[in-house]
Amino acid sequence: MFDVLTQPKRILCGGERTELMWRQTRLVLTIIAVVAALPVLIPVAFLAHARDQRRMREAASRTACKRCGAMLGMPSQDRADAAWAAHVAKLFADHPPLRFRLKRDVWAICAVCGATYGYDDERRVFVPIPE
């Protein structure tokens, strides 16, 4: 009964067999190369993340709020981090089986007046987000 539902085995000719073996070999070599590079890639990723965080802290320490004039600094970044964490927690609580692809827009919220700011990574500046 089950034989009717299965596809008959296709016999590969010489060229197809060689191509299949070459594709499998490339896949195995790629996996080996990626695994071998992980001891380098992981520390580089951590260093790049630390560098980006430092640059953002420096930009926040020299940026004044466009609305109230207070310096943004770490408190505004902490406030944005807390708001983001609450937003993500609410998303996962409201839709438990779903996975999300999220893009964070707000990187600073003025601790004095609540103005929101995005971050331009290329120019290393905080940019006000229109309300």
Q: Catalog residues that contact Zn ion under the rule CB under 5 A.
A: 65, 67-68, 110, 112-113, 115
**Residues 106, 85: contact at Cβ < 8 Å?**
no
* Polymer length in residues for the chain: 131
**Rounded to the nearest whole angstrom, what is the least distance from the CB of residue 54 to Zn ion in the complex?**
23
Q: Which two three-digit tokens encode residue 48?
A: 């790049």
How many Å apart are CA 119 and CA 52, to the nearest integer? 11
Q: Please identify which residue in the block is written with the tokens 């080996």.
A: 32
CA angle 113, 115, 116 (to 5 degrees): 150
Structure tokens at 67: 């609305």
What is the Cβ-side half-sphere exposure of residue 106, based on CA atoms within 13 angstroms? 21
Complex with Zn ion: residue 56 or 71, whichever CB lies closer: 71
Q: How far is the CB of 36 from Zn ion (least distance, A)?
A: 49
Cβ 64 to Zn ion, closest distance in Å? 8
Identify which of residues 48 and 113 has a Cβ nearer to Zn ion in the complex.
Answer: 113
Structure tokens of 111? Answer: 């601790």
Cβ nearer to Zn ion, comparing 106 with 112: 112
Q: How far is the CB of 76 from Zn ion (least distance, A)?
A: 8
* Residue nearer to Zn ion on the CB measure, 41 or 113: 113
